[in-house]
Chains A and B, each alone.
Chain A
Amino acid sequence: MNEPPQQHYLELSENPVQFEHASSVNNVFFDEANKQVFAVRSGGATGVVVKGPDDKSSVAFRMDDKGEVKCIKFSIGNKILAVQRTSKSVDFINFIPDYPHTEFSQECKTKNANVLGFCWTTWNEIVFITDQGIEFYQVFPDKRSLKLLKSQSINVNWYQYCPETAVILLSTTVQGNVLQPFAFRNGTMSKMSKFEIELPVIPKPAKLSLSERDIAMATIYGQLYVMYLKHHSRTANSPSAEVVLYHLPREGACKKSHVLKLNTTGKFALNIVDNLVVVHHQSSQTSLIFDIKLKEPDCAVNTHQPVLPARSIHPYRMPLAGPAVVPSQPPMPCQLYSSSWSVFQPDIIISASEGYLWYLQVKLPPTVNLLQDKGKLMDFLLRRRDCKMVILSVCSQILEGGDKGSLPVVATVFDKLNQVYKEYLEAEQSYTVAMESGPSRGSAAQKRPVRTQAVIDQSDMYTHVLSSFTERKEVSHKFVIAVLMEYIRSLNQHQITVQHYLYELVIKTLVQHNLFYMLHQFLQYHVLSDSKPLACLLLSLESTYPPAHQLSLDMLKRLSTANDEIVEVLLSKQQVLGALRFIRSVGGHDNVSARKFLDAARQTGDQMLFYTVFRSFQQRNQRLRGSPAFNPGEHCEEHVVHFKQLFGEQALMKASTV
Chain B
Amino acid sequence: MLMISPRMASGMQEKQYTPSLLSFFIYNPTFGPREGEEEKKILFYHPSDIEKNEKIRNVGLCEAIVQFTRTFCPTKPAKSLHTQKNRQFFFEPEDNFWIVMVVRNPMIEKPNKDGKPPTIEYQEEEILDTVYGAVVRQCYSMYKLFNGTFGRAMEAGGVELLTQKLEKFFYRYLQTLHLQSCDLLDVFGGISFFPLDKMTYLKIQSFVNRVEESLSLIKYTAFLYNDQLIWSGLEQDDMRILYKYLTTSLFPRHSEPELAGRDSPLRPEVAGNLLHYGRFLTGPTNLKDPEAKFRFPKIFVTAEDGYEELHLIVYKAMSAAACFMINASVELTRDFCEQLDSLVGPQLTLLASDICEQFTINRRISGPEKEPQFKFIYFNHMNLAEKSTIHMRKTASVCLTSVHPDLMKILGDINCDFARVDEDEEIIVKAMTDYWVVGKKSDQRELYVILNQKNANLIEVNEEVKRLCATQFNNIFFLD
Contacts and interface: CB of A to CB of B under 8 A. Distances in A.
Contacts of B477: 550, 553-554, 556-557, 566
B83 interface: no
Contacts of A520: 382-383
A485 B198 CA distance: 12
Contacts of B383: 520-521, 524, 547
B213 A492 contact: no
A482 B207 CA distance: 10
Given A485-B205, A558-B475, A408 B210 contact: yes
A558 B424 CA distance: 21
Contacts of B444: 547, 550
A517 B480 contact: no
Interface string B403-438: 000000000000000000000100000000000000
Contact of B209 (A407, A527, A554): A407
A554 B474 CA distance: 9
Contacts of A525: 196, 198, 201, 230
A103 B133 CA distance: 113
B206 A411 contact: yes
Contacts of A556: 477
B304 to A, nearest CB: 9
A553 B475 CA distance: 10
A527 B198 contact: yes
Contacts of B385: 524
B213 A485 contact: no
Interface string B209-252: 11011101000000000000011110110000000000000000
A521 B232 contact: yes
Interface string A174-215: 000000000000000000000000000000000000000000
B469 to A, nearest CB: 10
A103 B445 CA distance: 96
Interface stretch (A336-344, A439-447, A578-586): A578-586
A486 interface: yes
Interface in B72-105: none
Interface string A481-520: 1100110110011000000000000000000000001101
A569 to B, nearest CB: 9
Nearest to B205: A485
Contacts of A604: none
A143 interface: no
A407 B198 CA distance: 20
Contacts of A554: 475-477
Nearest to A406: B213
A61 interface: no
Contacts of A521: 231-232, 383
Interface residues of A, number: 39
Contacts of B216: 404
A525 B201 CA distance: 7
Chain A binding surface, main DSSP class: helix
Chain B binding surface, main DSSP class: mixed
B199 interface: yes
A547 B382 CA distance: 6
Given A517-B232, A547-B383, A554-B477, A482 B199 contact: no
Contacts of B380: 550
A5 interface: no
Contacts of B214: 404-405, 407
Contacts of A549: 443
Contacts of A479: 213
A526 interface: yes
A231 B202 CA distance: 53
A578 B210 contact: no
B203 interface: yes
B193 interface: yes
Contacts of A547: 382-383, 444
Interface string B182-214: 000000000001001011011101100110111
A90 to B, nearest CB: 66
Contacts of A581: 479-480
Interface in A427-486: 478-479, 481-482, 485-486
Contacts of B424: 575, 578
A526 B198 contact: yes
A550 B198 contact: no
A520 B196 CA distance: 15
A566 B479 CA distance: 11
Contacts of B236: 517
A498 B147 CA distance: 45
Q: Which of A517, A518, A557, A578 has the most CB of B within 10 A?
A: A517
A557 B475 contact: yes
Given A407-B213, A485-B205, A557 B199 contact: no
A492 B198 contact: yes
Contacts of A406: 213
Given A405-B214, A478-B212, A521-B383, 14 more contacts: A406-B213, A407-B210, A407-B213, A481-B209, A485-B206, A488-B202, A493-B199, A493-B202, A525-B230, A550-B444, A553-B443, A553-B477, A557-B477, A582-B480
Interface of B: 193, 196, 198-199, 201-203, 205-206, 209-210, 212-214, 216, 230-233, 235-236, 380, 382-383, 385, 424, 443-445, 475-477, 479-480
